[in-house]
Chain A
Amino acid sequence: MFRRLVEPAGHVTVTIDGRPFSVAAGETLSTALLLAGFAGLRRSARLGRERGPFCGMGVCFDCLVTIDGAANRQACLVRVRDGMAVQTGTRLPALADTVPE
């Protein structure tokens, strides 16, 4: 769906749905997810339909994923960090009693 035009300076590793992926250091998370083949990131709250990044600038809230345990974060406004754990596919997030930092 998308491809990289410019070779990144370095790589970091993030886990997406439990699987490790090597991604460009400092890349926007939504971009990294698209490059890793995740087109649909979540299900819509009411009808449960697939949604993926749409506006790319923090406006539409369709790129929501769980990042390091924090539910419903906008992937297009976050940059990847080494060791980041990303969970896709939530419809309604469940709140955990303790959320890591």
Chain B
Amino acid sequence: MTRLDLVIVGAGPAGLRASVEAAAVGLSVMLVDEGREPGGQVYRGSESGAFAGTAKLGSDYAAGAVLAAAFRASGVEALFGATVIQIEREADGSFCVSVATGHDKAVVVRARAVIAATGAQERPFPIDGWTLPGVMTAGAAQTMLKADGVVPDGPVVLAGTGPLLYLLAAQYGALGVAIDTLLDTAAPGNWRRALPHVPGFLTSRYAFKGLGLLGKALAATRIIRGVEAVSAIGDTRLSAVTYRKGATERTIPAHVLLLHHGVVPQINLTWSTGAQHRWNAARLAFEPVRDASGKTDVPGLFIAGDSGGIGGAQAAEAEGALAAFGVLRMLRGTAGDDDPIEGRWRHRLAVSLRGRAFLDALYAPRQSHLSPPDDVIVCRCEEVTAGDIRKAVRRGAMGPNQVKAFTRAGMGPCQSRMCGLTTVAIIAEETGLSPGDIGHMRLRAPVKPVTVAQIASLSEADERRTTESPSATRPRK
């Protein structure tokens, strides 16, 4: 039976760099991404987006084009527009990766190792009215900007916390797009909690970039800090935003409200493999447990980039390289990291992670925004409110799986991506347990919805694949 050395899931900086390095050392590699071209979230549209080949979105964004070109030159076979729906580990220790490719097609790819580089998603920011059309995430708006060169029109309000909120404001500012109001909802004590991390921050690239960024955003926008509550008002679409700060409550007209609550690892795929995950209390997120090369407790499974813990694009790229070396070491049975290239990536990773702790503390969301009031919808798909979840907990559902069975929260097409963390936060608040002890809802295949026909085609695809030989890759020069 033929099989590849390595399947890489995700074509962001982590997956692209892993592909380039793995191909350079002679591994047979396939890269899979549900997007249409290399780039992932941060470098979305680097090849063919509205700002491809320009510096209008900043030099960081321009780096994406360079990486995408290196990837194209590596000769790694890539499946774009393809979604990995299941990774199974076989009795012989190899992996069977199920990939949905077209409306009714799927393929099965077999490999000796897998690098999951599925990136991050935005942390849900459940507020009253957040399901109204016109309310979107800051990430969505940024994606529209990068991919299509489209920006909000009419009164725009940004609300929440996190570097991306300010980055977006700065990018809009640089392009002359007016933002009416930025409602900063970060917890009031954040500055104090962030102070111990200042030395690390000052030696980081964020210090320079971050301050410039804030300056630009500040100049163009009305910023209201210490906002305690935000709600979206409208009938069939957004018409206004209400916010509260202390005793004052104001309603401002808005056509577009962009919410942001930081980013967290996208764990649906990694969790479904059975790899161990743990709660990161500083980042308020579940993260897979991995070593310095991204190796998990599932032998042969490596995790790189933001899906292993938020580190940003530069860190993701370095982790991608390190994971590729880790895979090589595992497959060749060699020990130690004697490769000087690997050492350089390790150094780059350390540098790019500097300042992260400061940002985590500075932009931490408020507890009351993680666990919203009773009438706020938490699970958008099944329209389950925070109150429904609290009621279930009070009736004895002490964990997210039982809450799911009681309320249907997490059973819709988004597969708990939009409600999982909030559900855990509510249970934690109700029971006094830590999210780490509570755990997340079990995440299973298919990690994205696929058609019955696609699932049906998996067995046939399996047989087809095993009789074909994978494309050869270049040996190291």
Listed in ascending order, the chain A residues whose CB lies under 8 Å from chain B are 1-6, 8, 24, 26-28, 31, 34-35, 39-41, 44-47, 49-62, 64, 70, 72, 76-77, 79, 101
Contact B121 A56 (CB under 8 A): no
Contact B381 A31 (CB under 8 A): no
Q: On chain B, which size bracket covers the interface?
A: 35 or more
Contact B256 A49 (CB under 8 A): no
Interface positions of B from 94 to 132, Cβ below 8 Å from A? 103, 121-122, 130-132
Count: A-B pairs, CB below 8 Å: 131
Can you name the residue of chain A whose Cβ is closest to the Cβ of B54? A6
Please give, as numbers and ranges, the residues of chain B lying within 8 Å of A6 by CB-CB distance.
Answer: 50-51, 149
Listed in ascending order, the chain B residues whose CB lies under 8 Å from chain A are 34-36, 41, 48, 50-51, 103, 121-122, 130-137, 139-141, 143-145, 147-154, 175, 177, 236-237, 255-256, 266, 380-383, 412-414, 417-418, 448-449
Taken together as a complex, chains A and B put the C-alpha atoms of A21 and B90 apart, in Å, by: 50
Contact B36 A45 (CB under 8 A): no
List 4 additional A-B contacts (Cβ < 8 Å) besides A59-B122, A60-B414: A1-B255, A2-B144, A46-B382, A56-B143
Main DSSP-derived SS at the A contact region: loop
CB distance from A23 to the nearest CB of B (A): 10
Contact A59 B414 (CB under 8 A): yes
Contact B175 A60 (CB under 8 A): no
Taken together as a complex, chains A and B put the C-alpha atoms of A1 and B154 apart, in Å, by: 6
Contact B149 A5 (CB under 8 A): yes
From A34, A44, A46, A54, name the one whose CB has the most chain B CB atoms within 10 angstroms: A54
Please give, as numbers and ranges, the residues of chain A lying within 8 Å of B412 by CB-CB distance.
Answer: 45, 61
Contact B144 A56 (CB under 8 A): yes
CB distance from B155 to the nearest CB of A (A): 10
On whether A40 and B236 interact (CB within 8 A), knowing A2-B256, A55-B121, A57-B121, the answer reads yes
Can you name the residue of chain B whose Cβ is closest to the Cβ of A56? B140
Taken together as a complex, chains A and B put the C-alpha atoms of A61 and B48 apart, in Å, by: 25
On whether A24 and B148 interact (CB within 8 A), knowing A55-B139, A61-B413, A61-B414, the answer reads yes
Please give, as numbers and ranges, the residues of chain A lying within 8 Å of B139 by CB-CB distance.
Answer: 55-57
Contact A56 B141 (CB under 8 A): yes
